[in-house]
Amino acid sequence: MERKGIIAAGNMLVDHVHQIGQWPERGWLVEIVHSERATGGAPLNVLLTLAKMHAGLPLQAVGLIGEDNDGDYITAMLDQYHINRQLVQRTSSAPTSMTQVMTDAEGQRTFFHSPGANRLLDLPAFEPLDAPLKIFHLGYLLLLESLDRPDEVYGTRSARLLAQMRERGYEVSLDLVSRKGDPRYRPLVLPALKHLDYLTINELEASEFSGLEIRLPNGEPHVANIARAASALLDAGVRQRVVIHCPEGHGRLPYRSRALGTVMAAAAGGDYRQRRRGGRLLRRSAVWQSRTLAVNRQSAAGSRLRPRQPAGRQCDRRRQNAP
């Protein structure tokens, strides 16, 4: 039987989102213009977005939330959109994870995060998982304390989990979190890469992994370095596709080079973790949403990329044998 559908697991939280006029200097006050509550974290963003798109895919969530109002809100949202929450467990040992999100007038977001119950999510939560779905998506490394712990065989417990999911027949996908200068970044990410089919990250995360400057001096995306970062991630073990997205994008831009051939955005793969407000849901190509910059893989790193039109950009590097 052909597998289809997505299991999304990991950080489940509630975002308390506040619109502010500008970011204040230290010690000063700024008014909150508007506030709202929304679900957040990799599994909820992916699953609820797909459910709202009426994609017709079986969807299942795996996670750990508290026995509190925010936990009730998450379960209500999963029920409203008919997402399987059989493996969403609740605990009295920690509150539901939450993030206070400050969004300035230019749309730049800053996050104040409380990990809560997500710290306790560990391998036993995944033992009952046997649904015949196609893709297992995990997010976010560096924010899953128990799964980020060392493992003698696999390097980290999250790498062990991803390997187990591949052994069960799932295609494995991973999302990371932006934590500038965190010395754990490479030690926690590298062990996971060889167990992945798909990796979706933003330009900040790509820079942390690769050490490359992802922005030009004028602030524009450094597309050639984004391509190099994507190739480095593929060389480190990702089997099928690396997607690197940026706030710029909202569209697609073909690139040509001798090695790459035509590189084109296959999906408008934006930051699906948060940038789904306003109803801009992607109506093409499965998983991701709008507002993205990306690169497509058919070459060695460092190919010269020449833009052919001034539309938005997306960098989606994939292996030649990707579906």
Residue-wise pLDDT for 258-268, tens only, equals 333 222 222 22
For residue 269, the 8-state DSSP code is: -
9-50 pLDDT, tens digit per residue, is: 999 999 999 999 999 999 999 999 999 999 999 999 999 999
* Sign of the alpha-carbon dihedral angle for 139, 170, 47, 232: positive
Bridge partners (DSSP) of residue 241 are 198, 318
Closest CA to 277 of 83, 36, 9: 36
Bond preceding residue 140 cis, omega within 30 of 0:
yes
Distance CA 289, CA 285 (A): 9
Distance CA 264, CA 317 (A): 10
Residue 249's pLDDT is: 60
Q: Where are the domains of the chain?
A: 6-12+41-96+116-272+289-298
Residues with pLDDT less than 70, the chain: 249-323
Distance CA 205, CA 214 (A): 10
**CATH number of the 6-12+41-96+116-272+289-298 domain:** 3.40.1190.20
Residue 272's pLDDT is: 35
